[in-house]
Structure formats: C-alpha cells, structure tokens
Amino acid sequence: MKIQFIGPAQKADDDGVLYLAHVDGKEVNCHFTYEAIEDIESDSLQKDALEQFEVHKLKLLSIAEAKILRGLGTSGLVSIYTSDVNL
C-alpha cells in the first residue's frame, strides 16, 4: 500500500482539520477532530486547530497512516478522534 500525504491542512466545518492523502492513487481525506488535535498538547489551548496541527503534524499523520494501514481509510475518509490520539 502506497500512502502519500499531500495536504495542505485545511480547517474543517467542525473546527477540526482536513488533510488530503493519496492511498494507492485514490484520494482519502484525513479528518482530525478538534478534540484530537487539542489532546496532542493540552497545555497549548490558546492555539487554533491549524496552528496546533502544524506543530504536531508528524505525530498526527502517523496516527492517520496507522488507521489507513488497518483498512479504515478505503471509503475516501479516515477520521482521527481523541481515542486514537490517546492510544
């Protein structure tokens, strides 16, 4: 399976972040909930979701990659929740 994160990070309608990936040539939107991004570094609540995403992008994208590898991103969307961050 070939996964390539394309980006850029965009604000989602629910205040989370969307980040585009190509998985075996197909587009998959990675949706990071605001709560998941907030839980990465709960001490920096003053930052907005996009700023916090950029600071922790590698960790967040690795969580998305793990979900995609488990087959959870085949419908064109994979969502990353607080429960995924706190594993």
> Would you state the pLDDT for residue 45?
57
Query: Tens of pLDDT along the chain (87 residues)?
Result: 899 999 899 999 999 999 999 999 899 999 999 999 988 876 655 678 899 999 999 999 999 999 999 988 768 999 999 999 886
Please state the pTM of the whole predicted model: 0.90
Q: Which residues pair with 22 in a beta bridge?
A: 4, 27
Cα separation of 64 and 61, whole Å? 5
Three-state secondary structure string covering the chain: CCEEECCCCEECCCCCEEEEEEECCEEEEEEECHHHHHHHCHHHCCCCHHHHHHHCHHHHHHHHHHHHHCCCCCCCEEEECHHHHCC
> Would you state the pLDDT for residue 47?
74
> Would you state the pLDDT for residue 38?
87
